[in-house]
Chain A
Amino acid sequence: EAQVTQNPRYLITVTGKKLTVTCSQNMNHEYMSWYRQDPGLGLRQIYYSMNVEVTDKGDVPEGYKVSRKEKRNFPLILESPSPNQTSLYFCASRAQGLGNTIYFGEGSWLTVV
């Protein structure tokens, strides 16, 4: 089954404690991306990757890091989380080619206290 898998799904953490949200896809997709979704603001892109070792900033990259060492994995790293990073996070992937749709993971609810 085609899947984008994120972990953890739910996390409460404290300010400043480094955390990583993992993302893995089994569709051999080149493109992967992280979004955060906040009430009234819609989906905002954090970082994206066009392929292995190729990453770039989205609209709201501050406070986040990513890496793409393997095609299937695209972890999101919060080096020093702050309360304004409390949000719902989605990982997504798609294949190359115009018209190909995006597949989303189930989302990770992150609360920073």
Chain B
Amino acid sequence: RKEVEQDPGPFNVPEGATVAFNCTYSNSASQSFFWYRQDCRKEPKLLMSVYSSGNEDGRFTAQLNRASQYISLLIRDSKLSDSATYLCAVNDQGSYIPTFGRGTSLIVHP
């Protein structure tokens, strides 16, 4: 069975902190990787795709470690508005069916 695992948290950090989440996946044939953000009682929305070379979007950096089979999300200079649940999603080769992790909860406090 395909597995995508995340620490549920919550990660409780002060404003301005740097926080990192990992997401491990069990299928070494997995091909594409994503991070989604989900606010309470709302739909998940794409935060960023994760590329093999790593990618950055403002305060957010995503990385892929194929050897250890995990992806990571780093948030620098945390804002109160970053409080949310972060879901990772993994697509296997040739599959249109992503597997989602259960999400990691982030709480940024003043």
Contact = CB atoms under 8 A, between A and B. Distances in A.
B57 interface: no
Given A90-B43, A104-B45, A98 B31 contact: yes
A42 B44 contact: no
Interface stretch (A11-19, A43-51, A61-69, A72-80): A43-51
A33 to B, nearest CB: 7
Nearest to A96: B96
Interface string B69-110: 000000000000000000101010100111011110000000
Bin the interface of chain B by size. 20 to 34
Given A88-B41, A107-B41, A101 B46 contact: yes
Nearest to B4: A42
Interface string A28-67: 0011010000001111010010100000000000000000
Given A42-B102, A94-B96, A99 B49 contact: yes
Nearest to A50: B96
Interface residues of A, number: 23
Contacts of B44: 43, 90, 102, 104
A31 B41 CA distance: 24
Contacts of B98: 102
Nearest to A45: B97
B102 A40 contact: yes
Interface of A: 30-31, 33, 40-43, 45, 48, 50, 88, 90, 94, 96, 98-99, 101-102, 104-107, 109
10 contacts: A31-B96, A31-B97, A94-B96, A98-B93, A102-B34, A102-B44, A104-B45, A106-B43, A107-B41, A109-B41
Interface of B: 8, 31-32, 34, 41-46, 49, 87, 89, 91, 93, 96-98, 100-103
